Amino acid sequence: MHHDKIAVVDFGGQYAHLIATKVRRGRVLAEIRQPEDPLEAFAEYRGVILSGSPSLASFGEDSDWNKGILDLDVPILGFCFGHQEIAKHYGGTVINGKQEWGHADLHILRDHPLFAGLDKVEQVWMSHFDSVTSVGPDFEELGYSLLGEDAPPHRFAAIGSDKLRRYGFQFHPEVDDTLHGDEMIANFVREICGCRPTWTMEGYVQEEVARIRAQVGDRSVFLLASGGVDSTVAARLFAEALGPGRLELLHVDNGLMRKDESRAVVKMFADLGMGDDFHFIDASDDFLAALEGKIEPEAKRRAIGDTFITVFESEARRLGITDHLLGQGTIYPDTIETGGTKRADTIKTHHNRVPIIEEM
């Protein structure tokens, strides 16, 4: 089934996955794109949302992105850095130093589809060093913010051009601290972009099952199963797609688990009907040896990730598994925290995102 889609352009902020999640909760498919993607990659989207970024628009940081995106013939909404880039592109100004942090009151200046069903004053979340101080001739100020009763008005907190179908929020509607941010995002997606709410997680599962079957073909899959959300969901999808006998699961006790956690994981997969092809190894000594003498958290994480692969490959040889595809489940926050996109800063490297796994 064809679904209307929204592109979320990820400038390296920590909230891009949250934006996509909020759109999907409204039963509209959102996909994360990179700022350097070619314009052809945006051909099937009904609208675009530009995320925030650790970069400063006022200093021209992160200026090498594909600005042709702003000329696409679809509505575009920017948050924080995205808001500032829209203002700059269309003749506005952005300066450094007019910062806001924390809860603020957004004072909405007029009725607009973006704010349909909302109050004239809404609580929003601000976290920025740069600010828009003027807008181009086709734009208007839709709202200003106040950070406390005695603070001066912070203008251009919301801007828009109905003629150009370009809009910007200085605040972050995707975080829960913006009390009605979900409604603002939904208003953009449905009222401005005209997206139909046809996407569901159930339908997505069936689409992924079909994609797995097409990609795997007649081969089998070998998957590390920690018992966490990411690998367990991946295992269930692979099992549904491939059927009995074509999915081998390996659970590794790395010596860092909670008491009896591995025993609980083994039981869980047995209860899920996946016990026949489930393998378990206690490799605690290998992991503790790899961690010996390491102090820095990043070094520890990389050692754990590398050891997982060493154990994984050793067990594959022991089990006679030679021609299987490697299966992996990775939730999107792991990618964000590992700095898995070009512009993202590393928060912490996850063991399933270390270079040796990326190469595989």
Concerning whether 174 is annotated as a catalytic residue, the answer is yes
State the amino acid at position 297 in one-letter form.
P
CATH topology for 5-192 is Rossmann fold (3.40.50)
Which one, of 183, 256, 220, 258, lies nearest residue 26 by Cα?
183
How many H helices and E strands in the chain?
10, 13
Which one, of 60, 19, 16, 37, lies nearest residue 344 by Cα?
16
Q: Crossing angle for the helix pair 284-291 and 297-318, nearest 10 degrees?
A: 150
| pTM, to two decimals | 0.78
Concerning whether 80 is annotated as a catalytic residue, the answer is yes
Q: Which residues of 314-348 are buried (b: 16+ CB within 10 A; e: fewer)?
A: ebbeeeebeebeebebbbeebbbbbbbeebbeeee
Positive/negative CA dihedral, 128, 131, 117, 16 = negative
5-192 and 201-359: identical CATH topology: yes
Query: Per the residue annotation, which of 85, 174, 248, 315 is the catalytic one?
Result: 174
Domain coordinates in residue numbering, the chain: 5-192, 201-359
Please state, as a whole number, how many other Cβ atoms lie within 10 Å of the Cβ of residue 293: 8
For the structural domain made of 201-359, what CATH number should be given? 3.40.50.620
Per-residue pLDDT 10s for the chain (360 aa) are 689 999 999 998 778 999 999 999 999 999 999 999 999 999 999 999 999 887 666 556 556 789 999 999 999 999 999 999 999 999 999 988 777 888 999 999 999 999 999 999 999 999 888 889 999 999 999 999 998 777 778 899 999 999 999 999 999 999 999 999 999 999 999 999 999 999 999 999 999 999 999 999 999 999 999 999 999 999 999 999 999 999 999 999 999 999 999 999 999 999 999 999 999 999 999 999 999 999 999 999 999 999 999 999 999 999 999 889 999 887 655 444 444 455 555 444 444 544 545 554
Query: Per the residue annotation, which of 172, 251, 350, 351 is the catalytic one?
Result: 172
Query: Per the residue annotation, which of 3, 17, 80, 251 is the catalytic one?
Result: 80
Tokens of 11: 């400038």
Which one, of 19, 17, 86, 96, lies nearest residue 55 by Cα?
96
Tokens of 152: 């001066």
